């Protein structure tokens, strides 16, 4: 059997101290031969740097807080492996994930990237919200497995030569850099989303940060949607889009009974029911996994999620019409250049 190719695991991080040691140890425990771990800290304000250095991995730091795209690019510029595996610092790999990811890349030379699925159970149980978010993420990814045009960068492996061919992540994008990269890659290669590669995620535990993140990501996608005029293959579906639109219309329609009388309460009720029907498969899955009693909490979180997505789309459309700078947010790939790893940026973990 020929030797496995060399592997560079690139872990970008910003303020994920609680999970990062679990993340790094999950890679080290797999004992992949000829591998390196490059931890890239994006100027965290917590104790991430000290925790990462204590694990003995190579640690890089960005010159200033610049976003996950910059951190991934810096790690890729320093990587020596034939295969690059990007792993978010709040994700811990399941046993065997590295070998399976690399083997899938080798077995499918026409594939640009192999992306993994996040488990339904959170890495660290912090809140009911986190449990709901992990269930949603698991169902959406599992139901989207196969060929997609959306790069799932939480766990993502690709040949180094493919990464350099496509070019770096767009550092202008604080959010949606993975959507942009998937769009660029899918013009040349297929992207595989597979349950054969798995990890557990320390997802959002508080409602405020979760909703802010969802809103920012949704709003930032509008210029890309306007450019490509279609959903990302697999993950983004018409029913999921309609669930968000109907959730927003549900809230807006509460003005009808105020203006025209209580009989118009039927309008928001009907819209709310329609929004839930758009996700009926997911609710069946959650009921089977956690029981009927869990559904009200899950449905409430999902409604807030869909409502925020709907609001972000409306805000993004307004900004797209008013701001030429916003419309130009997604630069062509050929204008992007790789960062250089300057002297003093790379430091051993000790």
**Is residue 166 a contact partner of residue 112, using CB atoms and an 8 Å limit?**
yes
Name the percent of the chain lying above pLDDT 90. 76
Position 124 in a domain: yes
pLDDT band of residue 305 (cuts 50, 70, 90) is: very high
Contacts of 119 (CB under 8 A, 6+ apart): 94, 134, 138, 198, 199, 200, 201
Q: Is the pLDDT of residue 140 over 70?
A: yes
Q: Is the pLDDT of residue 334 over 70?
A: no
Position 70 in a domain: yes
Mean pLDDT confidence for 284-298: 96
Q: Is the pLDDT of residue 350 over 50?
A: no
Domain that holds residue 109: 7-203
Position 150 in a domain: yes
Name the percent of the chain lying above pLDDT 70. 92
Mean pLDDT confidence for 180-187: 91
What is the DSSP track for 210-254? HHHHHHHHHHHTHHHHHHH-SPPTTTS-HHHHHHHHHHHHHHHTT
Position 39 in a domain: yes
Residue of higher predicted confidence among 3 and 215: 215
Position 181 in a domain: yes
Domain count, the chain: 1
52: domain CATH number is 3.90.550.10
Position 138 in a domain: yes
Contacts of 242 (CB under 8 A, 6+ apart): 274, 275, 278
- What token pair was written down for 184? 């660029």
Nearest to 87 by CA among 97, 77, 78, 95: 97
Position 246 in a domain: no
Position 79 in a domain: yes
Condensed to tens digits (0 to 9), the pLDDT of residues 267-278 reads 989 999 999 999
């Amino acid at each position: 059997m020929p030797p496995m190719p060399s592997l560079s695991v690139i872990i970008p991080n910003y303020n994920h101290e609680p999970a990062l040691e679990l993340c790094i140890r999950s890679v080290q425990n797999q004992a992949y031969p000829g591998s390196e771990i490059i931890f890239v800290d994006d100027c965290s304000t917590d104790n991430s740097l000290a925790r990462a250095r204590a694990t003995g991995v190579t640690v890089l730091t960005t010159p200033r807080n610049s976003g996950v795209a910059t951190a991934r690019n810096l790690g890729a510029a320093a990587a020596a492996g034939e295969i690059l595996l990007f792993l978010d610092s709040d994700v811990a790999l399941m046993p065997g994930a590295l070998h399976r990811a690399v083997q899938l890349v080798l077995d499918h030379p026409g594939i640009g990237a192999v992306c993994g699925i996040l488990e339904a159970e959170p890495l660290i149980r912090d809140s009911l919200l986190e449990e709901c978010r992990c269930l949603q993420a698991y169902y959406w990814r599992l139901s989207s497995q196969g060929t997609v045009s959306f790069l799932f960068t939480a766990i993502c492996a690709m040949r180094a030569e493919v990464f350099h061919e496509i070019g770096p992540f767009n550092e202008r994008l604080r959010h949606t850099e993975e959507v942009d990269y998937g769009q660029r890659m899918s013009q040349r290669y297929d992207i595989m989303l597979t349950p054969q590669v798995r990890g557990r995620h320390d997802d959002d535990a508080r409602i405020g940060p979760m909703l802010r993140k969802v809103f920012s990501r949704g709003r930032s996608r509008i210029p890309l949607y306007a450019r490509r005029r279609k959903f990302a293959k697999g993950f983004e579906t018409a029913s999921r889009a309609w669930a968000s639109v109907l959730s927003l219309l549900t809230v807006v329609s509460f003005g009808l009974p105020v203006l025209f009388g209580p009989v118009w309460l039927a309008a928001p009720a009907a819209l709310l029911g329609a929004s839930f029907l758009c996700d009926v498969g997911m609710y069946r899955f959650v009921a089977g996994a956690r029981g009927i009693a869990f559904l009200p909490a899950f449905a409430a979180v999902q409604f807030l999620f869909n409502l925020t997505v709907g609001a972000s789309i409306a805000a993004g459309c307004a900004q797209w019409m008013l701001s030429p700078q916003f419309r130009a947010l997604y630069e062509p790939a050929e204008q992007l250049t790789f960062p250089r790893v300057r002297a003093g940026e790379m430091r051993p973990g000790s």
